[in-house]
Structure 1
Amino acid sequence: MVYRLGIDVGGTNTDGVLLDEDMNVIYSVKTPTTDDIETGIYRAIEKIVEQATIDTKEINFAMLGTTQCTNAIVERKNLNNVAIIRIGAPAGTAIKPLAGVPQDLKDILGSNMFIIRGGHEFNGSEIASFDEDKVKRIGEQLIGKVDSIAITSIFSPVNKEHEIRAKDILQEVMGDDISISLSSEIGSIGLLERENATILNASIIDVARRTADGFENALEKHGIKAKVFFCQNDGTLMSKAYTLKYPILTVACGPTNSLRGASFLSNNTDAIIVDVGGTTTDIGVLVKGFPRQSSIAVELGGVRTNFRMPDINSIGLGGGTIIHINEDSFTIGPDSVGHRLHEEAMIFGGNTLTATDVVVGLGLLDLGNRELVSHLKQSLLEDIYKSMIEMVEEAVDKVKTSALDMPVVLVGGGNVLLPTELKGASQVFRPNNGHVANAIGSAISQISGEIEKIFSINKENREEILKKAQQMAIQETINAGANETKVEIVDMEHVPLAYLPGNATRVKVKAAGELALK
């Protein structure tokens, strides 16, 4: 028997699930997330191994989804010492790197910043010759001062020659152990946003390494020698080596895992997913089984970036959301008791009225002691519950692209708060094991690869260039750990750029495939 172990580390809980080779859920668990991550993961694995009573040698694959890289950026903790190099003089000197970045983060990341000659036009031709000597001097200057470098060149998604040359020179001077992030491999067109994404990627290398090592240590302590993968925010997996190179791609993988898990559990590939947690409800859209990606620049920890992110609409409503009552009026959240629900909610003997108390008080959920909320007016509870449902229905409406009703899937630990009928929903699904949809999403994920470049396309070369782009995406997928015989193109778009000359077209291709067994 071949088993898959899926772990998703959230801010409140660490969820785990064990699947057999037919993708049946053997056992699932929720444990509190710990500060050191490893302990929480260890406890989740321990419970699964004990309760599932299986031979740990039969666990062949282990997948981890984590919020640690996101948290490090938002909380400004444990970030690398980063050097920032922009290849763009004299054309790209008007706006300095980290422009618009919050001052507290700029103070942490902006002490080693350089702009050198080089860069390319949209068609790949040089703006200026590359200053190799300056890069060598920078490398000598940085020895012992930084452990990570972010390199960004103008229009490098079209021509990354200068970025690659800069990386080679820096490694010659500083050694191969220095971590170097190239913008051409991380962000899309748009210099400042791509540069920001690259800097953030360089800043969380060590956080990703500690998280990966913690996961492997927790597995090793239980005698599990599985092939390890990490979840990225497009709903697919990457190897440890790939994760340590592109840790920024783990950002927002939690909501994505929930979407993928919901798709699997409900057998829906095109639907709206409502993931109800303890503090927020995240609403996303599945398109052909994968999360719809955001089409706009995304802010992460106050930093504007343009790397891929799932299109998620979050509202301040969850199981622990606090209901504030002032005589006969009320407000819902956005504050929450979070993981303290079992201590602070009224139905558990606490003094705080939460969304869960409201649902129990109306007799819609059997949890805790309903008598502890019996003194509350039923009419008031009904009004509060109606407002809660309207919040969700409005959020669902906002993610739609048409007025047509769509299937809605309810998952997450707080999904029992919502009814099985919602405005705008053609049908509402509440699948079994939906409370650990995020862990299931991590366990079932495929490997993917994606490229985004600008090409000069005309009638004569169109098919040839699109085929070339597809092959590049397939190769990226294989490099990430996919079986080369089971990779297929799952999405492709090509948009003419009218503001650029020469039939310039932005081509974006995504491929996905099954895990390679070797």
Structure 2
Amino acid sequence: MRIGVDVGGTNTDAVLIAGGRVVASTKQPTSADVSSGVTAAIGAILSQAGVSATNVSAVMIGTTHFTNALVERDRLDRVGIIRLASPSGEALPPMTGWPPALVDRIAGATFLLPGGYEVDGREISALDEAAVRAAARDCREQGITSIAVSCAFAPINAAMEEWAAAIIADAHPDAQASLSHNVGRLGLIERENGTILNAALATLAQHVMASLERALSTLGIAAPLYISQNDGTLISAAEAARYPVLTIGSGPTNSMRGAAFLTGVDNGIVMDVGGTTCDIGVLAGGYPRESSIAVDIGGVRTNLRMPDILAIGLGGGTRIHLGDSDDGVTIGPDSVGFRLTEDACLFGGSTLTTSDVAVAAGKASFGDPALIPALAPSLSAAILTRMADMLADGIDRMKTQSGDVTIIAVGGGHFLIDDDVKGAAHVVRPDHAAVANAVGAAIAQVGAQADRIIDYDAEPRAAALEEMRETLLARVVAAGATRETAEIVDMDEVFLSYLPGRSAQLRMKAVGSLADADSATAAPRTEARHVH
């Protein structure tokens, strides 16, 4: 049996999956201390299913704590930054273009040192071991324990970053080094930005992982703990403590993976409606389509492997403003969020929300409809039309080709999506749609990715592809997957005309099911309702 948990800003969702079916689910308030909310959610589903904690084989958790910390500029470490790219890599200093408030919060010491590679793997200049050692000692004297190391074209050759990490460990044993080749893609500035953010989260990540492990210990669960990543795959809790930035986009990703599992639909558009926003993403082969552009996190440009998500300001708690526009209606973007059960009219509050309008129109049934103020039929119709237009526009913006597409509606506010929303060939509403995010965490697989520049004149294409394939499959198996389930699920090959010879950028992704939980991902999905 597997447990999936998604820790959101408002609710902590949890599901128990056995034999490929969701046998228990719950929503519990998210707690400030992390562990008590997770403990309550997991305890509730174990009680609901009448299952002993000893029967749990694995626990998978997705969390928004790291995203919130960056957005709120809270609980962040000061960071020492070592860039190995001099002399050519000094034009733009680290943290250029960052929000001033974030720079003030985490900037420690910066060191621009010799090192780095050209795109074809040749050295820009040799690494200066003495300079790296001096930088580490400087950080130690300043009390800086989080260090970000970036090197030009490190994803092609990580040797200098690994060497620098060994020097730092010797000169400053209390420091934790974040290495850029483990964080981002090609592109020094964006990759370095992500690495600095990762280093800033170091202490918080250790605290969060320890809290989650305490929660499992309190419940008597001895099963291994995994954390869901941005790309829909899993890493160990220990790895997540070292690289928390890899989990920042796990919420929307979990919802999309859960939607695919619950419906059996591998290609379509997922619309996850929460209390504040509707997150829209594209499923391709059962996995979220990755963003091909720089991703903004807390005002910082990064090139992390993140899902391509469009968030629109329409959720179950979105406020309806009357008289604020030419036609008398403005929807959002503000929301009552977790205060829905206190502030919304149908719960006795005084704020008109989308949930009030939906319940009054018969699109959903909860709260007390008698408490909703009467709206003129024309005004109610205008609000519903505006909501439908916002959703249809979101679908249109995410499509890559003409024609209607399959829509999977999930999230607690999925009732806002009409069955005949414009752009939908048909709408699929699965059972357990409200906890699709926790389902996505529960069924996630171990994954690994690689990004290389290869000269096919020096290394035959077939040999290069096979070498990368075997390396990735070995990494997936080492992370806990069975060799029989490990497979390559995505490959991207782009020939580079600006390099001599037949050079190409090769990206590859592999996944595999956990050794003790194959049946959960291989078994039939739960039955879904298809609305045409």
The answer as to whether partners of 1:80 and 1:148 remain within 8 angstroms in 2 is yes
Code of the residue aligned with 2:380 in structure 1: it is: L
Structure 1 residue 477: deviation in Å?
Answer: 2.0
Please state if 1:373 is matched with 2:372: yes
Counterpart of 1:80?
Answer: 77
Structure 1 residue 282: deviation in Å?
Answer: 0.4
The answer as to whether partners of 1:449 and 1:480 remain within 8 angstroms in 2 is no
Comparing 227-236 and 366-375, the one that deviates more: 366-375
C-alpha separation in 1, matches of 2:205 and 2:185: 22
C-alpha separation in 2, matches of 1:189 and 1:181: 16
Structure 1 residue 219: deviation in Å?
Answer: 1.2
Structure 1 residue 517: deviation in Å?
Answer: 3.2
Normalised to the residue count of structure 1, the TM-score between the two structures is 0.96
Counterpart of 2:258?
Answer: 261
Counterpart of 1:395?
Answer: 394
Code of the residue aligned with 1:210 in structure 2: it is: H
Instruction: Tell me the SS of whatever aligns to 2:108.
Output: coil
- Please, which of 151, 160, 163 is the counterpart of residue 162 of structure 1? 160
Structure 1 residue 458: deviation in Å?
Answer: 3.6
C-alpha separation in 1, matches of 2:276 and 2:459: 54
Distance 1:362 1:7, change over 3 A: same
Structure 1 residue 459: deviation in Å?
Answer: 9.2
Normalised to the residue count of structure 2, the TM-score between the two structures is 0.94
C-alpha separation in 2, matches of 1:364 and 1:244: 43
Counterpart of 2:99?
Answer: 102
C-alpha separation in 2, matches of 1:274 and 1:238: 26
The answer as to whether partners of 2:276 and 2:337 remain within 8 angstroms in 1 is yes
Please state if 1:454 is matched with 2:447: no
The answer as to whether partners of 2:78 and 2:107 remain within 8 angstroms in 1 is no
Structure 1 residue 380: deviation in Å?
Answer: 0.7
C-alpha separation in 2, matches of 1:430 and 1:492: 31
Counterpart of 1:316?
Answer: 313
- Please, which of 244, 249, 273 is the counterpart of residue 252 of structure 1? 249
Instruction: Tell me the SS of whatever aligns to 2:482.
Output: strand
C-alpha separation in 2, matches of 1:179 and 1:516: 30
Counterpart of 2:193?
Answer: 196
Distance 1:68 1:348, change over 3 A: same
Counterpart of 2:130?
Answer: 133
CA deviations over 1:465-498 (Å, ceiling 9, x no partner): 1111222322332343322332100000110122
Please state if 1:287 is matched with 2:284: yes
Instruction: Tell me the SS of whatever aligns to 1:413.
Output: coil
The answer as to whether partners of 1:487 and 1:514 remain within 8 angstroms in 2 is yes
In the TM superposition, 1:18-29 aligns within 5 A as: 18-20=16-18, 22-29=19-26
The answer as to whether partners of 2:116 and 2:160 remain within 8 angstroms in 1 is yes
Structure 1 residue 258: deviation in Å?
Answer: 0.4
Provide the identity percentage.
44
CA deviations over 1:42-79 (Å, ceiling 9, x no partner): 11122122222111110111110000111111111111
The answer as to whether partners of 1:238 and 1:481 remain within 8 angstroms in 2 is no
Counterpart of 1:179?
Answer: 176
Counterpart of 2:489?
Answer: 490
Q: How many residues align?
A: 514
Counterpart of 1:464?
Answer: 463
Code of the residue aligned with 1:461 in structure 2: it is: P
Code of the residue aligned with 1:343 in structure 2: it is: E
Comparing 159-168 and 497-506, the one that deviates more: 497-506
CA deviations over 1:199-251 (Å, ceiling 9, x no partner): 11111122222111111111111111111111001111111122122211101
Tell me how large the CA RMSD over aligned residues is. Answer: 1.5
Structure 1 residue 346: deviation in Å?
Answer: 1.0
C-alpha separation in 2, matches of 1:110 and 1:365: 49
Code of the residue aligned with 1:444 in structure 2: it is: I
Structure 1 residue 512: deviation in Å?
Answer: 0.2
Structure 1 residue 460: deviation in Å?
Answer: 6.7
Distance 1:130 1:402, change over 3 A: same
Distance 1:120 1:163, change over 3 A: same
- Please, which of 60, 77, 100 is the counterpart of residue 63 of structure 1? 60
The answer as to whether partners of 1:242 and 1:480 remain within 8 angstroms in 2 is no
In the TM superposition, 1:396-435 aligns within 5 A as: 396-435=395-434
C-alpha separation in 2, matches of 1:362 and 1:133: 71
Instruction: Tell me the SS of whatever aligns to 2:419.
Output: coil
Instruction: Tell me the SS of whatever aligns to 1:498.
Output: coil
The answer as to whether partners of 1:236 and 1:446 remain within 8 angstroms in 2 is yes
CA deviations over 1:150-195 (Å, ceiling 9, x no partner): 11111111122211111111111122x5211111121111110111
Instruction: Tell me the SS of whatever aligns to 1:157.
Output: coil
Please state if 1:38 is matched with 2:35: yes
Counterpart of 1:277?
Answer: 274
C-alpha separation in 2, matches of 1:111 and 1:217: 32
Q: Where do 5+ consecutive residues of structure 2 fail to align?
A: 518-532
The answer as to whether partners of 2:489 and 2:510 remain within 8 angstroms in 1 is yes
The answer as to whether partners of 1:279 and 1:336 remain within 8 angstroms in 2 is yes
Distance 1:460 1:199, change over 3 A: closer
C-alpha separation in 2, matches of 1:218 and 1:497: 49
C-alpha separation in 2, matches of 1:442 and 1:366: 28
Counterpart of 2:344?
Answer: 345
The answer as to whether partners of 1:5 and 1:61 remain within 8 angstroms in 2 is yes
Instruction: Tell me the SS of whatever aligns to 1:419.
Output: coil
C-alpha separation in 1, matches of 2:377 and 2:463: 67
C-alpha separation in 2, matches of 1:453 and 1:246: 21
In the TM superposition, 1:292-307 aligns within 5 A as: 292-307=289-304
Instruction: Tell me the SS of whatever aligns to 1:481.
Output: coil
Counterpart of 2:528?
Answer: none
Structure 1 residue 300: deviation in Å?
Answer: 0.5
Comparing 110-119 and 440-449, the one that deviates more: 110-119
The answer as to whether partners of 2:108 and 2:144 remain within 8 angstroms in 1 is no
Code of the residue aligned with 1:167 in structure 2: it is: A
Comparing 494-503 and 301-310, the one that deviates more: 494-503
